[in-house]
Amino acid sequence: MPLVSMRQLLDEAAKGGYGVGAFNVNDMEQIQAIMMAAKETKSPVIVQASRGARQFAEDLYLFRLIQAAAELNPDIPIAMHQDHGNSFETCKSAIALGYTSVMMDGSLKEDGKTPSSFEENVDVTRRVVDYAHERGVTVEGEIGVLGGVEDGHGAGGSGLDHITDPDQAVEFAERTGVDALAIAIGTSHGAYKFTKKPDGSVLKMDVLIAIHKRLPNTHLVMHGSSSVPKDLQDIVNQYGGKLKETWGVPVEEIQLGIRNGVRKINVDTDNRLAITGAIRKVLWTQPEKFDPRDYMKPAREAMKKVVAARMTEFGQAGHAGDYKPIAITDIAKGYADGSLTTQPLVAAK
Ligand code: 13P
């Protein structure tokens, strides 16, 4: 199956009332882990690469691996997404490679660190939307700013510093025409999100619900949504790691989000933990091993288990065969003739 428009994948998810995990990749084993999980659970899937991943793997290696995944798994709809594009040029280069979706994270300036103004965010996101839609490519924008830093991207600080204002979310969606909207509700990238199991004072599901009420047709995106399970932390620490105690976003909160318009859920940290724990275990318990396959194989298996669990919990499992991909050129026509335009998104106040 060719790579699928993320818009189509999310529209289908909205129709079916489920969420779709967007899993970060840097290398072949992570891509394989995702595809093994997607095949096992019959799930459509979003694979995403940050700027750091594109640099680490070199664009062409990574993109060719995704193409191989699509070729080897003709029954699985796959959208390839640029995670946290920092500029028009970054998004343009992803589109040139063949990514079917880009995130223009205009919530930060081009340095990927400094929060931008609302007008700057609208301006750069709108430009990316115009360019991408002409080519049938989906655009995710962000309003509000996530906490933490991942792959060198992020404002740092607490997830509570720049919670999304629902009024701004509405204006942003109207003025940019984004297909999907990432919002800040207290989550952060990375392992250290919360110091105890989060409640409503730090994880603002009420804000998410308020935004969904105002933008019922907009696909909402939850970033920083690893659950950072204790068992994965324990494996890392049992075999010589030094993670401090931490809490992520509980799966039941994500499921509440899915019932309130969340269609894309970003997960990276849980997979990093699973991989690291598996590698540590082999190297710690069998120090005589030196063939990378001896630890990469269990690492891939450990990530597959996490991804398959999330696919089931998010509800995307079993939906791979629901639809046929619409050609990206036809998606472009849909944007051009208005049939796919996201306006009007806004329900009455
Ligand atoms: P986690 O660090 O919680 O996995 O979040 C990943 C993410 O949001 C990537 O954009």
Contacts of 180 (CB under 8 A, 6+ apart): 6, 7, 10, 138, 139, 140, 141, 218, 219, 220, 221, 263, 264
pLDDT mean across residues, the chain:
94
Both tokens of 248, joined, read 């992520």
Please state the rounded mean pLDDT for residues 238-248: 97
Q: Is position 130 annotated as part of the catalytic site?
A: no
Residue 343 buriedness (CB in 10 A; 0-12 / 13-18 / 19+): exposed
- Indicate which atom in ligand 1 lies nearest the CA of residue 187: 3
Reduce the DSSP state of residue 69 to 3 states and report it: helix
CA of 21 to the centre of ligand 1 (A): 11
CA of 84 to the centre of ligand 1 (A): 10
Ligand 1, atom 1, residue with closest C-alpha: 224
CA of 223 to the centre of ligand 1 (A): 5
Q: Specify the pairing of strand 45-49 against strand 78-85.
A: parallel
> Where is pLDDT greater, at 161 or 256?
256
% of the chain residues with pLDDT over 90: 90
CA of 305 to the centre of ligand 1 (A): 18
* Ligand 1 pocket, Cβ-based, cut-off 6 angstroms: 24, 83-84, 150, 189-190, 223-226, 266-269
- Indicate which atom in ligand 1 lies nearest the CA of residue 83: 10
Residue 133 pLDDT > 80: yes
pLDDT tens string 219-236: 999 999 999 999 999 999
Residue 346 pLDDT > 90: no
pLDDT of residue 268: 98
Best mutation site among 23, 24, 303 for ligand 1, i.e. most ligand atoms within 8 A of its Cβ? 24
> Where is pLDDT greater, at 338 or 47?
47
CA of 270 to the centre of ligand 1 (A): 9
Residue 207 pLDDT > 50: yes
Please state the rounded mean pLDDT for residues 72-81: 98
pLDDT of residue 348: 31
Q: Which of 186-200, 257-271, 333-347 has the lowest mean pLDDT?
A: 333-347
Contact 273, 310 (CB under 8 A): no
Alpha carbon distance 33, 15 (integer Å): 27
Find tokens 């940290």 and name the residue: 269
Please state the rounded mean pLDDT for residues 110-128: 95
Best mutation site among 145, 227, 267, 270 for ligand 1, i.e. most ligand atoms within 8 A of its Cβ? 267
Residue 145 pLDDT > 90: no
Ligand 1, atom 9, residue with closest C-alpha: 266
Residue 349 pLDDT > 60: no
Query: Residue 342: pLDDT band by 50, 70, 90 thresholds?
Result: low
CA of 215 to the centre of ligand 1 (A): 23
Among the listed residues 27, 75, 83, 167, the single catalytic one is: 83
pLDDT of residue 97: 98
Residue 83 pLDDT > 90: yes
- Indicate which atom in ligand 1 lies nearest the CA of residue 225: 3
Best mutation site among 187, 253, 269 for ligand 1, i.e. most ligand atoms within 8 A of its Cβ? 269
pLDDT of residue 146: 77
pTM recorded for the entire structure: 0.95
pLDDT of residue 161: 72
The Cα-based distances of 339 to 10, 19, 129, 335, 347 in angstroms read: 16, 23, 15, 6, 19
pLDDT of residue 236: 98
Ligand 1, atom 5, residue with closest C-alpha: 224
Residue 177 pLDDT > 90: yes
CA of 150 to the centre of ligand 1 (A): 8
pLDDT tens string 50-73: 999 999 999 999 999 999 999 999
Ligand 1, atom 3, residue with closest C-alpha: 224
